[in-house]
Amino acid sequence: MMNIYTWGNGKEISPFDIESIILSQLINDIDDIKIIPNSNYFISNSQKLPCLITNDEQITGLINIWNYLSPNDNNDSTERLLFDSLLHSIIKNFNIITTYNYFVNTTNYESFTRPAFKNYLPWPFQYLPPLQIRENGIENCMNLGIIDGENDGNSTLDDEEKHLVETPVINDLQKNQIDNNLQLINKKKSIIANLNCIKLLKSTIDNFNQLKEKLSTSNSEFLSLIINSYLQNNIIDELSDNFIKITLERDYPEYLNTKSLPKSYNPSHLTFSNAFKSFISSFI
């Protein structure tokens, strides 16, 4: 028996842990693997989830767990290489988008994500993980130019913000005016960051749409379902700033369906390894 530990409340996987949601759909009917959505990040040496625990090692992240469980047939065909490249690109980009949406976007973080951790971890452990994920997310988003990127208009806003913060306050009226202007600047920054996140989302979807015809039908459908899993869990109603849903409604309505990944199977005459590999092999 192998266990995969994920973010969750003990019964359900957290909506922001989409890697684990995808894994749970892939291995739904396999008895030899158990999904444990109890947010036990302490068990992971890297303190990252999802984390697959075997008898002698730990594997974290969807791609690494995928590579561990799926067959290594050394298939270096053009389509296999394209499939692998698209899969890695889709997961990498959508992980950034998801982290921005749930943790870096201040509105969603303050109204949903941070309060939700009280359902995932007991006091006082509920406070540190969202802060750590947010800090890492901010760093990654800065590296990609989603926030504080070059030529995104934020430098002017930063100058305005600095000027307001350094302005001496004479009375309450002036303080209220400064506070209102600072709030307006933060809203403008948020809009710019949302737009940069949307650019990454669009480029990821458009790149797949341009290349999917070079894939077999099963491979194309599989990647479409991976994308759909990420999108569906990034537009939940609980998110106050649902800018991704607005984008899909306008530009990609075909992804507003509720299709999920196909369920795996485990025929009784196959061992776990062969059953899982047979399932995965049907897509690659």
What is the structure's pLDDT at 80? Answer: 87
- Count: domains in the chain: 1
The residues pairing with 58 across neighbouring beta strands, listed in sequence order, are: 53
Structural domain containing residue 113:
2-281
Model-wide pTM > 0.95: no
Give CA angle at 109 (152, 242), nearest 5°.
70
Q: How far apart are CA 90 and CA 219, in angstroms?
A: 13
List, run by run, the mean pLDDT of 10-residue segments along the chain (284 residues).
93 96 84 91 94 92 87 71 94 97 96 97 94 96 81 57 65 70 67 94 97 92 93 96 96 77 34 42 46
Residue 206: C-alpha distances to residues 41, 160, 224 (Å): 35, 36, 12
- Give 106-167 as a 3 state SS string: HHHHHHHHHHHHHHCCCCCCCCHHHHHHHHHHHHHHHHCCCCCCCCCCHHHHHHHHHHHHHC
